[in-house]
Structure 1
């Protein structure tokens, strides 16, 4: 288990409980289970206290936790007959965005998601979930395919933002993001999105301009990272805590503003402590969102999507 900075006291308690059990395994005559269980109860109480009222900055840390389920985990568990499609038919295949044809609850769909990778090798291969222009052009190609065959589109959002490198900019990064966002608004099929970790900047919006948007309880979604915001506004990246609060990037804030349509509860301690339960909850949310859109024709779906984005913020202003 990887512990976050604010979880260090919890790490000490859980570490002591594990040490006791390791000693008992080495020496079966030792009876330490009562002490270990007492530490377990203390750890659970502390865990509840730590996660009872997470600040925006701590939610950012949880959203970035390396042990959270990633896009590939959701696809492998929730979808069957997944057939990946690669390349943008123009330049290359971007591994930061994965997608293809699949079945969700035995229903043919197109699924597209941002994959960060789970170890050093895969993170480098996936560019830490930061897509280049060809990644967004691949997404456009997949959405065109879904539109042509009348297949719902499901997108899984988890990126710190689009890749800002020189090559990406030379190949038209901003244009690719804009066209992907435009394509989201145009496709005459149901489009639902789930923010499973970070939803960073235009790199997230390009796939999340959907009829319905769900966010995991401890996920975040914002126009810029707290560190980037602090560097611009205060010339000091260390003010990221203040920036996180000001950005209103938590699922709870965005639900109030009408950006997120629903919040998916996470297990106590975050998705990283209950991966299977989290994936199952996301599957149920996707099914519910698709059901809400059943029966609407293409024109109604496009109108619904445009109206959603034109009305963003109205709920928060009214309150």
Structure 2
């Protein structure tokens, strides 16, 4: 987790930054003057906690989108590190190459072996370029499917962590069958005979998210979004400008509370006050708790019953009219 000096702040997090700066100055004054200011520092720290909590209680839809993209937010590898043991990463789609935007492998979760797969964004500029900013090519989705089939072969549950601004829209991705790769994953995930748990830990955009997003249980973390298009791209299409992204975010109804209300997800995983980037361990513990609860429920179901329930769940989504 970044220290105070290296931490980045969004516009609406400025009150927190001001308080942390004040704490730093007070601590420095205490050191220089040898005057005990510990009670004052403690009061300021409590105020930071309260401010973090207050800010996240009153966020607009666009601010939640910003929080889901926070540069200090934990990504898939961080969750794997904090939730599991004995993680063995597996590479490649056995066809083209290894796509760094999607990672996955076998790991031990509280003594049970699971296959864990997710989008991985980079933690600095060089790594972001290496990971293609979490935008997978077709080989990334084919790698994910290969790992899922491996998990099914050995009867191991599958956990997917979703955090992508969308599947990579480049020419080479289309040439290698981006649409087919995502459609194939949706089709195959619907029929997997092992428990599948999907969690949106950041951005959940379009087919890029759906490519590893079909499961028995689908959860969203509190400050994440899930929809067919990003607010910026929606604004560009409807208003021919990015300037209306705030209105687009509101109209898309993309937050976790709206998704739960629409019945598109099964639950919301709470985040630490201020967001997951303030306490990686607490965020990971909350995700882990939800996964273990879901696994306990799903393991008691017969495989065929579980598959049928998964199909029924997704077939009920949406609104239609028969003429």
Which structure 2 residues correspond to residues 271-286 of structure 1 after superposition, within 5 A? 271-286=276-291
CA contact (8 A) 1:143 1:183 kept: no
Match of 1:159 in 2: 164
For residues 244 and 269 of structure 2, the distance between their equivalents in structure 1, rounded to whole angstroms, comes to 29
1:38 offset after TM fit, Å? 4.5
Name the count of aligned residue pairs. Answer: 313
Q: Which moved more, 1:246-255 or 1:73-82?
A: 73-82
- Relative to the length of structure 2, the TM-score reads 0.92
Deviation per CA, 1:240-293: give whole Å up to 9, x if none.
111111111111111111111011111111111111111011001001111111
- Listed as ranges, the gaps of 5+ residues in structure 1 are 315-319
Would you say 1:176 and 2:181 are equivalent positions? yes
Is 2:86 the partner of 1:88?
Answer: no
- Residues 35-114 of structure 1 aligned to structure 2 (within 5 Å): 35-114=40-119
User: Which is worse superposed, 6-15 or 196-205?
Assistant: 6-15
Q: Tell me, yes or no, if structure 1 residue 241 matches structure 2 residue 241.
A: no
Aligned to 1:128: 133
Judge conservation of contact 1:56–1:250 (CA < 8 Å) in 2.
yes
- How many angstroms does 1:28 deviate by? 4.2
TM-score scaled by structure 1?
Answer: 0.93
Superimposed CA distance per residue, residues 28-68 of structure 1 (whole angstroms, 9 cap, x where no aligned partner): 42444454444444444433332222111111111111212
Distance 1:293 1:299 in 2: 12
Matches within 5 A, 1:218-297: 218-297=223-302
User: In the alignment, what sits opposite 1:24?
Assistant: 30
Q: CA deviation at 1:20?
A: 2.0
What are the ranges of 5 or more consecutive residues in structure 2 without an aligned counterpart?
A: 1-6
Mapped to 2, the partners of 1:278 and 1:67 lie a distance apart of 13
Q: Does residue 215 in structure 1 map to residue 211 in structure 2?
A: no
Map of 1:12 onto structure 2: 18
Superposition CA RMSD, Å? 1.6
Q: Could you say what secondary structure the match of 1:82 adopts?
A: strand
Which whole-Å CA distance do the structure 2 matches of 1:238 and 1:289 have between them?
41
CA 1:241/1:147 → structure 2, altered by over 3 Å: closer, same or farther?
same
**What SS does structure 2 have at the residue aligned with 1:110?**
strand
